[in-house]
Structure 1
Amino acid sequence: MSAAGHTLAWRPEITGTHDQTRGGDGMRFLHTADWQLGMTRHFLNDEAQPRYSAARRDVVAAMGPIAKEVGAEFVVVAGDVFEDNHLAPRVISQSLEAMRRIEVPVYLLPGNHDPLDAGSVYTSALFTEERPDNVVVLDRAGVHEVRPGLEIVAAPWRSKAPTTDLVGDVLAGLTDDGVTRIVVGHGGVDVFQADRDKPSFIRLAAVEDALARGAVHYVALGDKHSRTKVGDSGRVWYSGAPEVTNYDHVESDPGHVLVVDVDESDPARRVEVEARRVGTWRFVSLCRTVDTSRDVTDLDLNLDLLTDKDRTVVQVGLNGSLTVTDKAALDACLDKYVRRFAALSLWDSQTDIVVLPADGEFDDLGIGGFAAAAVDELVATAKTDGEESDDARAALALLLRLVDRGAA
């Protein structure tokens, strides 16, 4: 049986080294998902975005050496291969070239970002023309034969709003007939959702029933960008995105590909899953209290200790009360690290800093006359709760920075 209408003309030879790695009766493959090639992040600057896009392609190509090392027969990508169906031609061509470098069959499942609708990237002339021989689109729901005795059961998305449990649909009717089956699906599992009754959610009970009756043996899922085990069987996993896509308070464990072993000599098809880290970027969320100059210094030290700054994105939530002098020092600290990190920004929903001039804070500026009177007026305004207080505090902070530059 052909896979999604394509018959692969070759399979990688299983060498003695591979057999030693996985055992002569074992089958091994890589489970990944949510590549979302072509993704942009609005908080990255013009210089960082191209590097981030390249990293997302590089992590795909990096699966080739892993597949070779562990003796994987193939790779399954459980949905959202592309960010959407409307991509620049360069993105499609470069993505396909990265997949070519994997050198074993790569099975792509259309997901909610790149469904098999009328404008699907998978049916575009460019994709069809440049698709490498090792890349197979799972564009048909149901069973796809990989080789005799081994099948992929695919549940592709055909729209962004399916009205049924696509995985449950393809599981119905499957029986234990001695064939090893790997399910590839995409979407939310009902046990993780507040509204469990949504028709498109994957019903874990149906999945576990198919596993229990021996009709399928591993369920490779995509949609959650953090590596996540589903249920207690050890056979249902979200691989997570291989490269980070959101901050660590949202994605707790991205950056992996799963190496899945299935013991085909065991009637129960014993499964082992190992995570390999492949991601190289980090999106970090920090929350700090800043009430004194020492707190600002500590924040500076904490930011400085973060490694790989050119591949690290930071959002900082800051709370506290600062003098105008300390607020100016905080602004200078943040400005410095904006230049050093791939991106750094304030976490607006977690930031609340009150700035109040301290008594005598502007007494030693060495100015007099009209200028001194203007400063006194700004200080008085800054201590109020009126609409002009923020402008007054900003003006005082700018004054301090200008005085510091003059002294330098």
Structure 2
Amino acid sequence: MPRFLHTADWQMGRTYSRFETEDSAALSEARYQAIERLAALATEHQCDAVLVAGDVFDAQTVSDRTIRRVFNATQGFSGPWVMLPGNHDAALAESVWTRAKRLDAVPENVHLALKSGTTPLPEQGLAVLAAPLTQRHTYGDLTQPFEQMTTPPGLLRIGLAHGSVQGVLPDDIDSTNPIAPDRTETANLDYLALGDWHGLKEINERTWYSGTPEPERFRNNEAGYVLVVDIEEPGAAPRVTPHETARYRWHQWRETLSVASDLDELIQRINQLPEASVLDLKLNGTLTLAGEQKLTEALSIAEARFRSVTCDRSGLQLEPTDDDIAALQADGYLGEVVQELRQSQQETDNSEGAEIARDALAILAGLLTSKDPEAAR
């Protein structure tokens, strides 16, 4: 029974400029480790081939070192690999693929599907019908020629394409590189392995997106998997098994804090995250000075545990309680300043002014607390 591994959207050479240098390097390195993990999975599960449905590289301009490292990372699986150009690494006349060939970086067991056509793998029982992108965007369905492609008798007809299944994916990514939702039927395919959508997604029992093996953005779309596909014989229904490959999990939370219990629940959720987390927070609402100090401490602990933590507090207003002010012992002039900053948050006409007042209040509270440690207790 033929068995193959379906993966896509490696986006090798991707940079993470929004992160600190150390975190950016770790996230980039995790993508090479993902290739090594899926190669090991293919070997462990005795797969006959690995099919990569486009966007192996994030750009045509990736370094020679990146090209070599990508192909080096495939060494854990000695069977055939079939790699398809996607919209990020389209098979242009001069492309990342032609450079890879000139560098002699492509192993003998890696087949580059740079032209529309069939890659027969008779020993593996597969015939791979490829629809490579030869430019970044097209408006015609490149999988339509599958209907006229002939394959040797007895081999599974496996389509390999990169694009948007029409009428299924969100409208904002449903305009270029279209793919008919019934292509497996019209082209008599046993399976259609797709890339472009970065999350795991079943279109129908024979048509799947594997998603990227390592998440690279904040989107709740089941990224971080590869698919092992078993098909007993031509015409039989595929058995598709997802396998998790992600090193890091990305979490983006948008929270509104109103009462003390909201902050307690948020901190509890943060503490429950695994260490291999990338966390992006944006907070709105109100917070007492005691709550601000509690939040700051919790985020400091999280920053030491997780791969990356960012927190936008610009939507938070600090509202000192009478107990906060009493604990700060901000009498006289200092007490007046605290009250003025408290009022400025609410009365300023622009968000920048409110943020400045909030930050000033937090800094002042921190200074007063550091002078009197008992005030924080």
**Structure 1-normalised TM-score?**
0.81
- Corresponding residue for 1:268? 235
SS of the aligned residue for 2:291 comes to helix
Q: What are the superposed Cα offsets for residues 22-55 of structure 1, whole Å, 9 maximum, x if unpaired?
A: xxxx111111111111122233321122222222
Q: Find the counterpart in structure 1 of residue 156 from structure 2.
A: 180
Partner of 1:130: 105
Instruction: Give the 3-state SS of the residue equivalent to 1:334 in structure 2.
Output: helix
Q: Is the 8 A contact 1:115 1:160 kept in 2?
A: yes
CA distance in 2, matches of 1:199, 1:290: 41
Matched, 1:229 2:229: no
| Structure 1 residue runs of 4 or more that deviate by more than 6 Å after TM superposition | none
Partner Cα separation in structure 2 for residue 263 and residue 276 of structure 1 = 20
- The aligned length equals 369
Matches within 5 A, 1:3-402: 26-124=1-99, 128-147=103-122, 150-172=126-148, 174=150, 177-193=153-169, 194=171, 198=175, 200-211=177-188, 216-231=189-204, 234-247=205-218, 250-264=219-233, 268-308=235-275, 311-346=276-311, 352-359=315-322, 361-366=324-329, 368=331, 370-386=333-349, 388-402=353-367
Contact 2:122/2:155 (8 A) holds in 1: no
**Segment drifting more, 28-37 vs 88-97:** 88-97
Deviates more, 1:143-152 or 1:178-187: 143-152
Shift of 1:288: 3.1
Cα 1:336–1:154 shift into 2, 3 Å: same
Q: Which moved more, 1:59-68 or 1:366-375?
A: 366-375
Closer/same/farther in 2, CA of residues 150 and 300 from structure 1, 3 Å limit: closer
Percentage of matched positions with identical amino acids: 31
Report SS of the residue matched to 1:317.
strand
The 3-state SS of whatever aligns with 2:279 is strand
Q: Which stretch shows the higher mean deviation, 145-154 or 131-140?
A: 145-154
Partners of 1:119 and 1:151 lie apart in 2 by: 27
Rounded to whole Å, the distance in 2 between the matches of 1:270 and 1:379 is 65
CA distance in 2: counterparts of 1:270 and 1:377, whole angstroms: 70
Distance (whole Å) between structure 2 residues aligned to residue 203 and residue 402 of structure 1: 63
Once superposed, what is the RMSD of the aligned Cα atoms?
2.7
Q: Distance in 2 between matches of 1:199 and 1:366?
A: 63
Gaps of 5+ in 2: none
Gaps of 5+ in 1: 1-25
Alpha-carbon contact 2:184-2:190 (below 8 Å) kept: no
Query: Alpha-carbon deviation of 1:195?
Result: 7.7
Contact 1:220 1:237 in 2 (8 A): yes
Aligned-pair CA distance for 1:278: 1.6
Is contact 1:80–1:110 with CA below 8 Å preserved after alignment?
A: yes
